Amino acid sequence: MIQRPKGTYDVYGEYGKKILYLQRLLENLMEAYNYEYFRTPIFEATELFHRGVGDTTDIVTKETYDFTDRGNRENTLRPEGTAGIVRSFIENKMYGNHSVPVKAWYFGPNFRYERPQSGRFREFYQFGVEVLGTQSPAADAEVISIPVNLYKILGLKGIKVNINSLGDTESRNKYREALKEYFKPHLDDLCEDCRARFEKNPLRILDCKVDNNKDYFKNAPKTIDCLNEESLKYFEDVKKYLAAMNIDYVVNPSVVRGLDYYSHTVFEVEASVEGFGAQNVLCGGGRYDKLVEMIDGPATPGVGFALGLERLLTALEYEKIELPINDTLDCYIAPMSDVNLTYSLTILNALRLSGFRADIDYNSRNLKSNFKQADRLNSLFVIIIGEDEEKTNVLTVKNNKTKEEYKVELNDLVFFLDENLNGGCDCDDDCHCHEHE
Ligand code: HAM
């Protein structure tokens, strides 16, 4: 039997319904925030991620899915969404547009060749936003408010917002030197990757999966201690704006993020529920003021975040939060035999076009099993169509909850269902609906 690739999963049933519910919720939330929907390709030129995400990150050195296409081009399945959005911003010359800042949101699959475990997949979905063209600390606070408000709307309680600042280029350089000095005496003890990181990007040593639980890591210098005055002021402003929006946070110096493009604000939201598992980071992001230039665009500041859909769903499960999914069917049509199928289909199609959630039995079940099926589908009404109904155009409609049975003329069916399911028409007296004629 051919099996799905390791680290991937199939979506169907309840899980599918939950995903669709969350997708709609995110769409509405982004409408409220006035963000614009973006969709960029699932694969991009390999070089984009080398330059964008960074040559010294695990994501790029160890985890990309690369392939050469038939035209000998080097491509990579995107491991994250930011680089693609920034490429699109540059390629479509959005920087010259008066609507800057561009506020983009996106939702889609990403691929990382990681060791699969609970909460960590090789194909996973991210919802994310990128704000390009403003350096205001209020934009950082706005971005942080998005996941926080989402969790609030969903009713998630066990979350912790960790923020930190890497500072501007000067502060980052100072930090880099401080780290090098600190790790120098331990160089021989570090893994081979970290020894390479020491020269190229010492910051990456901090999130090394091999070394980072060694004792001397605990006292490594903190970014906050290396911030210059401007960067400190920037960070204070972000905190002030977060407070203005009633967002609780903790300053956590250990948040440095695993991607190369960050400066100033970085943040992660973790599920702080006991037993949640190691992969408890629900989302992460931050400011990246040099990324657009790194991908050959004009200097443009940016800030954004992304959350993993799978981890969000796990968190909801963990806190036993039921999503208000409408799992009912308005009506289920039960033709008494194949002979009544043509007539039944005409009715089914008309009901669906009128906006009802309707389904039919194609398998010529007997009445008893049709009612069982209607129960399984959570149908509110069952319409029975036999020889008499077809002849007289008077249908037998059964309320599947109260078990009351009605005789309804075909012409009145939509009105009948509307009245019983939605409380009838709410139009004014001048209308020509059944009720007001
Ligand atoms: P990231 O921290 O690599 O950041 O990923 C963001 C979120 O995606 C994580 O917090 C996690 O929920 C989810 N995630 C990452 N890898 C996996 C995986 N293998 N399996 C399941 N979920 C995963 C970024 O990707 C940045 N692009 C975020 C950003 C946007 N920064 C600025 N703008």
| pLDDT single digits (tens) 273-327 | 877 888 899 999 999 999 999 999 999 999 999 999 999 999 999 999 999 998 9
Write down the pLDDT at residue 426: 61
Q: Tokens for 34?
A: 């006035």
- Per-residue pLDDT tens over the stretch 177-236: 999 999 999 999 999 888 888 988 898 888 787 887 888 988 999 999 999 999 999 999
Pocket test residue of 159, 283, 300 for ligand 1, highest count of atoms within 8 A of CB: 283
Band the pLDDT of 432: cuts 50, 70, 90. very low
Question: What CATH number is attached to the domain comprising 337?
Answer: 3.40.50.800
282 and 416 in a single domain? The answer is no
404 and 274 in a single domain? The answer is no
221 domain-assigned: no
| Three-state DSSP class for residue 32 | helix
Average pLDDT over residues 383-404: 96
298 and 359 in a single domain? The answer is no
Kindly give the number of the ligand 1 atom that is closest to the alpha carbon of 285: 31
The residues, any chain, with a CB within 8 Å of residue 69's CB and separated by 6 or more, are 75
CA 207 to ligand 1 center in whole angstroms: 14
**Residue 136: φ, ψ to 5°:** -70, 130
- Per-residue pLDDT tens over the stretch 364-379: 789 999 999 999 999 9
Average pLDDT over residues 58-63: 87
1 domain-assigned: no
C-beta 82 within 6 A of ligand 1: yes
Among the candidates 266, 284, 318, a domain finishes at: 318
283 and 426 in a single domain? The answer is no
C-beta 307 within 6 A of ligand 1: yes
Write down the pLDDT at residue 428: 55
The residues, any chain, with a CB within 8 Å of residue 207's CB and separated by 6 or more, are 58, 256, 257, 258
137 and 284 in a single domain? The answer is yes
CA neighbor of 148 nearest in space, from 82, 231, 243, 277: 243
Average pLDDT over residues 143-151: 98
346 and 279 in a single domain? The answer is no
Kindly give the number of the ligand 1 atom that is closest to the alpha carbon of 281: 10
Question: Distance between CA atoms of 433 and 425, rounded to whole angstroms?
Answer: 8
323 domain-assigned: no
C-beta 79 within 6 A of ligand 1: no
C-beta 281 within 6 A of ligand 1: yes
C-beta 264 within 6 A of ligand 1: no
C-beta 416 within 6 A of ligand 1: no
Query: Is the dihedral angle over the CA atoms 33, 109, 269, 64 positive or is it negative?
Result: negative
Question: CA angle, corner 214, sides to 208 and 216, nearest 5?
Answer: 110
302 and 428 in a single domain? The answer is no
Question: Distance between CA atoms of 191 and 205, rounded to whole angstroms?
Answer: 9
Residue nearest to atom 16 of ligand 1 (CA): 120
Q: Which domain holds residue 371?
A: 329-436
Cβ-contact 74, 30 below 8 angstroms: no
Q: Tokens for 231?
A: 């960067």
Write down the pLDDT at residue 213: 82
CA neighbor of 257 nearest in space, from 305, 218, 220: 305
30 and 127 in a single domain? The answer is yes
C-beta 54 within 6 A of ligand 1: no
Pocket test residue of 124, 140, 156 for ligand 1, highest count of atoms within 8 A of CB: 124
Write down the pLDDT at residue 206: 86
206 domain-assigned: no
Write down the pLDDT at residue 429: 55
User: Which helix or strand (DSSP H or E) is residue 57 part of?
Assistant: none
Write down the pLDDT at residue 425: 59
Question: How many structural domains are present in the chain?
Answer: 2
Question: What CATH number is attached to the domain comprising 70?
Answer: 3.30.930.10
Cα 5 from chain centroid?
Answer: 22
Kindly give the number of the ligand 1 atom that is closest to the alpha carbon of 130: 33
Among the candidates 296, 318, 340, a domain finishes at: 318
302 and 333 in a single domain? The answer is no
133 and 271 in a single domain? The answer is yes
Question: Distance between CA atoms of 306 and 97, rounded to whole angstroms?
Answer: 25
Average pLDDT over residues 27-55: 95
pLDDT at 427 over 70: no
Kindly give the number of the ligand 1 atom that is closest to the alpha carbon of 304: 33
303 and 365 in a single domain? The answer is no
Cβ-contact 195, 205 below 8 angstroms: no
- Residue 101's CB is within 10 A of a number of other CB atoms, namely 18
C-beta 304 within 6 A of ligand 1: yes
- Residue carrying structure tokens 């390791």: 6
Question: Distance between CA atoms of 314 and 395, rounded to whole angstroms?
Answer: 46
In the chain, DSSP finds a helix count (H) and a strand count (E) of 14, 16
- Average pLDDT of the chain is 93
Query: Is the dihedral angle over the CA atoms 253, 254, 255, 258 positive or is it negative?
Result: positive
Among the candidates 292, 318, 344, a domain finishes at: 318
Distances (CA, A) of 151 to 21, 158, 187, 319: 14, 10, 42, 12
303 and 381 in a single domain? The answer is no
CA neighbor of 330 nearest in space, from 418, 433, 427, 423: 418
372 domain-assigned: yes
Write down the pLDDT at residue 196: 87
Kindly calculate the radius of gyration of the chain based on its CA atoms and give it in whole angstroms.
Answer: 28
175 domain-assigned: no
335 domain-assigned: yes
238 domain-assigned: no
Q: Tokens for 96?
A: 């010259």
